[in-house]
Amino acid sequence: MTSAPHAVLVVDDDPQLRRLLRTTLAGQGFRVIEAETAGRGLIEAKSHKPDLVILDLGLPDAEGHAVVRGIREWSSMPIVVLSARVDEQQKIAALDAGADDYVTKPFTVGELLARIRSALRRAAQPAESGELLQLGATQIDLARRDARGPQGEVHFTPIEYRLLAALARHRGAVATQRQLLREVWGPEHVDQPHYLRVYMKQLRAKIEPDPAQPRYLLTEIGIGYRLLAETDQ
Amino acid sequence: MEERRADPDALLAAVQAEEHRARRGKLKIFFGATAGVGKTYAMLEAARAKKAEGVDVVVGYVEPHGRAETERLLEGLEAIPLLMLRDGQALVREFDLDRALARKPQLLLVDELAHTNALGSRHAKRWQDIEELRDAAIDVWTTVNVQHLESLADVVAGITTVRMQETVPDTVFESADEVELIDLPPDDLLQRLREGKVYVPEKVRVALENFFRKGNLIALRELALRKTAERVDAAMDRYRVTEGIGAPWAAGERVLIGIGPKSDGESLVRAGKRLAAALHAPWIVVYVETPDLIRLPDAQRNRRIAWLRLAEALGAETVTLGGHSAGAELVGYAQTRNVTRVLLGEPSRRGIARWVRPSTVDHVLARARGIDVTVIKTTESMRIARSPLLARSAAYLAAPPSAKRRWPGYAWTAAAVALTTALAWITDPALNETNTAMLFLTAIVLLAWRFGRGPAALASVLSVLAYNFFFVEPRFTLNVADGQYLITFGVLMMVGLLVGHLMASVRLQARVAGHRERRTALLYAMTRELAATRETTGIARAAVRHIGEVFDAQVVVLLPGKRGRLACPRAADGPPEPSSLRGADLSVAQWVQDHGQPAGLGTDTLPAAAARYLPLAASDATLGRLGVLAVLPVNPRRVLLPEAAHLLETFAAQLALALERADLAERAQSAAVAAESEAVRNSLLAAVSHDMRTPLAVIGGAASSLAEDGAQLDAQTRRELAQTIVDESTQMTQLVSNVLDMTRLESGRSVVRPEWVPLEEVVGSALRRLQRPLAGHRVTTHLDDAPALILGDPVLLEQLLFNLLENAAKYTPAGSHVSITARRGVDEVELLVADDGPGFAPDIEPESLFEKFQRGRVEGAIGGVGLGLAICRSIARAHGGDIRAERLPAGGALFVTNLPQTAEAPTVPREASDE
């Protein structure tokens, strides 16, 4: 791993939460930079170029998705957003704008750290199309469009491969419905989520040992899907 | 002067009047005895002084009178351009009210309070324009002469023999905030006249030569001075009321003016006003409708309308009574109203005629006990020169068109008399003459009773002739041997006529009473129907029907929409809108709505309108104006009579009450709903705060232990304490989430966004969240019988399953089996969550589990507010379905949720499979 500790920018207006995150992250070996407002956050992001941004969506001076868009204009650094439970739309907007993942308040530190680690891993190893996906007992070669499971070969349709590729691209983060629909079916189909549902069901049926209790193709209700490969478990 | 507590009612009236005055624009009147004393000049001078002080003064209308001095004073003052109106052949300049309202100056000068506006102006009179300006909080200065005051009009006429056409109601004069008397001694005025300084329109110059005689001027001056002094008096009285010094009503006088068809109504009314003002007493003008009224010519009937309206304009209460004897009616009414003084006109009959047939005055004098009776000699006595008998027959000839119907009556009478004669002839040998006469008498009475006055008279005459001819010596001639028979004839005649007269009166009374009763019954019918109707459109419709029936008119009820703008009612199935009540007339109605005063037919505002518009006002001013009632009568007279106008107002008042009631009921309902949701919130808060205390206490204790004694504790203990904190906070989070969910679902803010929800994912998501609590349980899912996609809100459905599964985890011991099944039903989907744990206690009613704050067992170690199942039910119901609980026969609990599915899931086109 890198020798220098990762720098994490915490953008949150609540001082208690900032203190908690500072203590926790510092204890895990991260270097923490703090910002109280969105404006300050953008400035700190530009000047310090952190490895990851933790962004609270309830900031007083700006909408979360606007800040994400602001950062995404010049950087692809991983962003994890903190959201209050009730505001689904805020969360989805931030994710659609380019945030990698989200954590809902109140959260346990374990959850947060898991998300942070996923996001950092993803940033460190950009997904290549030639990657091999190991989902439990199934191994999928996205480049060659080939898959092997415990019972032998597994057939995936072209769209299913495209969906798997899209999910793989978002590995370590959550992919929103919009993102997946756009990437797999194109912008005209962003309002037809049932396509996505049906195909996800098909994928689960082919990959998951118990489709009703999935381990690799996880659903984030109301938001989207998350791919957890063997290495991510 | 002894200290007295101010009468609270009078005080309240004074305070309200004061408030009203404070809000309205102030009126200052420059008052003078005659034209030419210099009122306009004084007004302009004072206005210029005000302008110099910085007040925004604008000239609305000032008559320069062709005098250079006045013209000079106008210079430098901003003037509102005048309106040009066509009056017959000529173009006249009039004060432009709308422009003045738009300009909204602090102070507006408008000359000549008594002026009558030309046709086409909004109001008939300038004083009404000024009232509207005051309502708009604009201060107004104006001028007026004493002869223009309503109550003094006849006195002035008496002095100058010139009748003033333009008058101003006394109420306007009395409502002025300031009255400045511009006084000029008569000699100076005459001097001015000679010098040509007094403006007099050419056409009336000659007529007015009479007017400007010294005697007149002195008298007029005195009148003006007295009137001004009266104002000071009134101000004194107000002061006394507010300071509680002496009570003006201590004497408690009440005056009643009685007028009838033969009175000189106008003089009486004005005299009544003066008397009432002098006594500071309320006054009532009573018109007694005797049977004579019907047979008077139209001109005289209209006079009574004019008198009653005059009385109202002067501030009296007007009442119309019906009866046979005016005197009896007046006294009876006076006694019920606690009248202390009755004012009557001098009787028209004198001498013996009066002795034979006493006049009203006599009746009243005879009956009135404890009431003073004042008889006024009027300046113009109305004498009916003709004798009563002739008067009746003259009126008779101009009688209503029922003449045709009478012919059968006369025919019958003649026949009956003939029959009686025959009968008498037959029985002649047996009866003596007296009894023969009795036969005829009987016939006359019967005929009079049956056919009325006319035939009665005929019967009398024919009977007498027949009796004379056939039965009185010498027979078969009309001569009379014995003079005694003349008496017989006389009696027969009199009896016939009397009975006929009596019957006619009685019938008329009955008819009049019938009319009245019918009107009252109609009012009652409308009121009753209104009482039964709850909502506004129903009320309006009922009112339209009833009022239209009573007044034989087309009626529209206009209700205000947003921002108080009236809209024509959309008559989906109601009566069609009359074509005249559209467009321009809607603006009249809007005016009525904005100002709260009636307009249209029979009023002083826009009297040319075809319909009458009445405002519907609530009893409580804060509720605003409820709407406008527009009445377009077929016969305008129905609405013009003061009595009819009163009746219409009564109907309108009933309608307003009903509308107010409907409005209040609505408010009460929404208030009740608000109160209920308030109560729910409060109970939730109470439960939450109670259930939060325990976890908070635990967290606080554990955290403080770690913080203070952390170093002394071993790692194991520290870990345990920390874990406790985590567990309890999770618990609290769940609690808060539940409460928030509940409030959102109940308040309706949680919108169910139906989309195609993959059942499998929802179940999976819920199970994943409960991974730890369900770790020790066996969980199976059976989702193949249900469609893959169901219609619903994914987040809410996941929450529903989460709550059910959490319950299962909480209330069943480790090792229990929890199963989740989905079944397809008819137009619905069923979700079944079952466990094989202990189930719920035998004494618990399954339905009661879904109530808020309910638990399946006694509260104990198991935390949680008990909202879980209530939330499940709210979610199920929000989807149009429901949830129920059952005990499983083998032991355990089953929860069945059914969700209606109104559409087929969309299919996704199959693609050609690769390889």
Cα of A46 vs its chain's centroid, Å: 22
Please name the helix (run of DSSP H) or strand (run of DSSP E) that holds residue A162, with its range, or none.
helix A158-169
A222 touches chain B (CB under 8 A): yes
- Mean pLDDT in chain A? 87
Q: Which of B733, B740, B789 lies closest to A194 in CB terms?
A: B789
A137 within 8 A of A210, measured Cβ to Cβ: no
pLDDT at residue A12, rounded to an integer: 93
**Chain B contact set for A155 (CB, 8 A):** 913-915
Q: How confident is the model over B12-27, as a mean pLDDT?
A: 76
Relative to beta strand B817-825, strand B778-782 is parallel
pLDDT at residue B676, rounded to an integer: 80
The fold of the A132-232 domain, in CATH, is Arc Repressor Mutant, subunit A (1.10.10)
User: What band does B405 get if pLDDT is binned at 50, 70 and 90?
Assistant: low
DSSP B205-228: HHHHHTTT-HHHHHHHHHHHHHHH
pLDDT: which is higher, A232 or B592: B592
Contact across the interface for A212 and B758, Cβ inside 8 Å: no
B420 within 8 A of B439, measured Cβ to Cβ: yes
Q: How far apart are CA B126 and CA B828, in angstroms?
A: 75
| Residue B622, min C-alpha distance to chain A (Å) | 41
Please name the helix (run of DSSP H) or strand (run of DSSP E) that holds residue B345, with its range, or none.
strand B341-345
Instruction: Kindly give the residue spans of alpha helices, DSSP state H, lying in B710-781.
Output: 715-747, 759-769
pLDDT at residue B780, rounded to an integer: 92
- Mean pLDDT in chain B? 79
A185 touches chain B (CB under 8 A): no
| Residue A204, min C-alpha distance to chain B (Å) | 10
Q: Return all residues near B322 (Cβ < 8 A) that are at least 6 apart.
A: B288, B289, B290, B329, B509, B512, B513, B516
**Chain A contact set for B789 (CB, 8 A):** 194, 197-198
| Candidate from A37-41, B9-13, B121-125, B822-826 with smallest mean pLDDT | B9-13
Q: Return all residues near B105 (Cβ < 8 A) that are at least 6 apart.
A: B56, B57, B58, B78, B138
**Chain B contact set for A156 (CB, 8 A):** 914
pLDDT at residue B853, rounded to an integer: 63
pLDDT at residue B293, rounded to an integer: 61
pLDDT at residue A38, rounded to an integer: 92
Number of H helices, E strands in chain B: 28, 25
For B849-877, write each residue's pLDDT tens digit.
887 765 544 444 444 557 788 889 888 98
Q: What is the dihedral of CA B460, B465, B466, B472, to 10 degrees?
A: 120
Interface test with B, best of A194, A213, A221 (most B CBs within 10 A): A221
Q: How far apart are CA A82 and CA B794, in angstroms?
A: 22
B807 within 8 A of B870, measured Cβ to Cβ: no
| Residue A20, min C-alpha distance to chain B (Å) | 14
Question: In the block, which residue shows the tokens 């990437």?
Answer: A183
A193 touches chain B (CB under 8 A): yes
A130 — alpha (psi -120 to 50), left (phi > 0) or beta?
A: alpha
Q: What is the Cα gyration radius of chain A? A: 18
| Residue A215, min C-alpha distance to chain B (Å) | 9
pLDDT at residue B34, rounded to an integer: 84
Sign of CA pseudo-dihedral B847, B848, B854, B858: negative
Q: How confident is the model over B158-170, as a mean pLDDT?
A: 76
Q: How far apart are CA A167 and CA A217, in angstroms?
A: 9
| Residue A63, min C-alpha distance to chain B (Å) | 22
B180 within 8 A of B30, measured Cβ to Cβ: yes
Q: How far apart are CA B486 and CA B483, in angstroms?
A: 6
DSSP B212-274: T-HHHHHHHHHHHHHHHHHHHHHHHHHHHHHHT-S-GGGG---EEEEE-TTS-HHHHHHHHHH
B157 within 8 A of B148, measured Cβ to Cβ: no
Instruction: Kindly give the residue spans of alpha helices, DSSP state H, lying in B6-105.
Output: 8-23, 39-53, 68-74, 97-103
- pLDDT value at B6 more than 70: no
Q: How confident is the model over B480-506, as a mean pLDDT?
A: 82
Q: How far apart are CA B446 and CA B594, in angstroms?
A: 62
pLDDT at residue B396, rounded to an integer: 35
User: What band does A151 get if pLDDT is binned at 50, 70 and 90?
Assistant: confident
Contact across the interface for B781 and A213, Cβ inside 8 Å: yes
Query: Quick one: which of A44, A67, A70, A71 has its CA closest to A56?
Result: A67
Interface predicted TM-score (ipTM) over 0.90: no
DSSP 8-state assignment for residue B76: T
Contact across the interface for B764 and A197, Cβ inside 8 Å: no
Q: How confident is the model over B568-580, as a mean pLDDT?
A: 50
Contact across the interface for A155 and B795, Cβ inside 8 Å: no
Q: State the amino acid at position B183 in one-letter form.
A: D
| Residue A36, min C-alpha distance to chain B (Å) | 25
pLDDT: which is higher, B245 or B420: B420
Q: HSE (CB half, 13 Å, CA atoms) of B434? A: 0
pLDDT: which is higher, B575 or B785: B785
Query: Quick one: which of B360, B449, B364, B376 has its CA closest to B413?
Result: B449
| Residue A23, min C-alpha distance to chain B (Å) | 15
Q: Which of B761, B788, B913 lies closest to A221 in CB terms?
A: B761
Q: HSE (CB half, 13 Å, CA atoms) of B93? A: 7
- pLDDT value at B584 more than 70: no
pLDDT at residue B25, rounded to an integer: 87
Q: What percent of chain B has pLDDT over 90?
A: 9
| Candidate from A16-20, B409-413, B477-481, B646-650 with smallest mean pLDDT | B477-481
Q: Which of B740, B788, B794 lies closest to A221 in CB terms?
A: B794
Please name the helix (run of DSSP H) or strand (run of DSSP E) that holds residue B389, with its range, or none.
helix B388-397
Burial B833-862 (b: 16+ CB within 10 A, else e): bbbbbebbeeebeeeebbebebbbeeeeee
pLDDT: which is higher, B826 or B394: B826
Nearest CA in chain B to A147: B915
pLDDT at residue B92, rounded to an integer: 80
By CB atoms closer than 10 A (0-12, 13-18, 19+), residue B596 is middle
For B794-820, write each residue's pLDDT tens digit.
888 998 999 999 888 888 888 899 999
Pick the CATH number of A7-124 from 3.40.640.10, 1.10.150.120, 3.40.50.2300, 1.10.10.10: 3.40.50.2300
User: What band does B232 get if pLDDT is binned at 50, 70 and 90?
Assistant: confident
pLDDT at residue B582, rounded to an integer: 55
Q: How confident is the model over B556-560, as a mean pLDDT?
A: 82
Q: How confident is the model over A131-153, as a mean pLDDT?
A: 84
Q: What percent of chain A has pLDDT over 70?
A: 94
DSSP 8-state assignment for residue B26: P
**A40-54, B260-274, B437-451: which is most confident:** A40-54
**Chain B contact set for A195 (CB, 8 A):** 908
Q: How far apart are CA B717 and CA B887, in angstroms?
A: 42
Q: How confident is the model over B621-636, as a mean pLDDT?
A: 75
B681 within 8 A of B739, measured Cβ to Cβ: no
pLDDT at residue B109, rounded to an integer: 93
**Chain A contact set for B740 (CB, 8 A):** 85-86
Domain range annotation of chain A: 7-124, 132-232
For A102-141, write each residue's pLDDT tens digit.
998 888 888 899 999 989 988 887 655 556 888 888 888 8
- pLDDT value at B357 more than 60: yes
Contact across the interface for B762 and A221, Cβ inside 8 Å: yes
Q: How confident is the model over A173-202, as a mean pLDDT?
A: 89
Q: How confident is the model over B590-609, as a mean pLDDT?
A: 80
Edge-to-edge strand list for the sheet holding A31-35: A31-35, A7-11, A52-56, A79-83, A101-104
pLDDT at residue B857, rounded to an integer: 46
**Chain B contact set for A201 (CB, 8 A):** 758, 760-761, 788
pLDDT at residue B248, rounded to an integer: 40
DSSP 8-state assignment for residue B78: E
Q: How confident is the model over B72-87, as a mean pLDDT?
A: 83
- pLDDT value at B579 more than 70: no
- pLDDT value at B99 more than 70: yes
Copy the structure tokens of residue B19. 């408030």
Copy the structure tokens of residue B864. 């949680």
B169 within 8 A of B150, measured Cβ to Cβ: yes
A201 touches chain B (CB under 8 A): yes
DSSP 8-state assignment for residue B119: B
DSSP 8-state assignment for residue B467: I
Q: HSE (CB half, 13 Å, CA atoms) of B709? A: 10
Query: Quick one: which of A110, B722, A109, A25 has its CA closest to B714?
Result: B722
- pLDDT value at B630 more than 50: yes
Contact across the interface for A198 and B733, Cβ inside 8 Å: no
pLDDT at residue B564, rounded to an integer: 63
- pLDDT value at B162 more than 60: yes
**B342-356, B751-765, B774-788: which is most confident:** B774-788
For B444-459, write each residue's pLDDT tens digit.
888 887 887 788 888 8
- The strand pairing partners of B241, in sequence order, are none
| Candidate from A18-27, B107-116, B290-299 with smallest mean pLDDT | B290-299
Copy the structure tokens of residue B329. 């009616």
Sign of CA pseudo-dihedral B60, B63, B64, B69: negative
B228 within 8 A of B181, measured Cβ to Cβ: yes
Copy the structure tokens of residue B553. 């008119």
pLDDT at residue B897, rounded to an integer: 93
Q: How confident is the model over A25-36, as a mean pLDDT?
A: 93
By CB atoms closer than 10 A (0-12, 13-18, 19+), residue B775 is exposed
**B33-47, B227-241, B530-544: which is most confident:** B33-47
Give the length of chain B: 915
Cis peptide before B474 (omega within 30 of 0): yes
- pLDDT value at A224 more than 50: yes
**Chain A contact set for B820 (CB, 8 A):** 212
Question: In the block, which residue shows the tokens 């009468």?
Answer: B7
Q: Which of A106, A108, A212 lies closest to B760 in CB terms?
A: A212
DSSP 8-state assignment for residue B109: E
Counted across chains A and B, CB pairs separated by less than 8 A come out at 77
User: What band does B895 get if pLDDT is binned at 50, 70 and 90?
Assistant: very high
pLDDT at residue B756, rounded to an integer: 87
Could you tell me the CA-to-CA distances from B84 to B87, B94, B115, B121, B585 in Å, in that order? 10, 6, 16, 10, 23
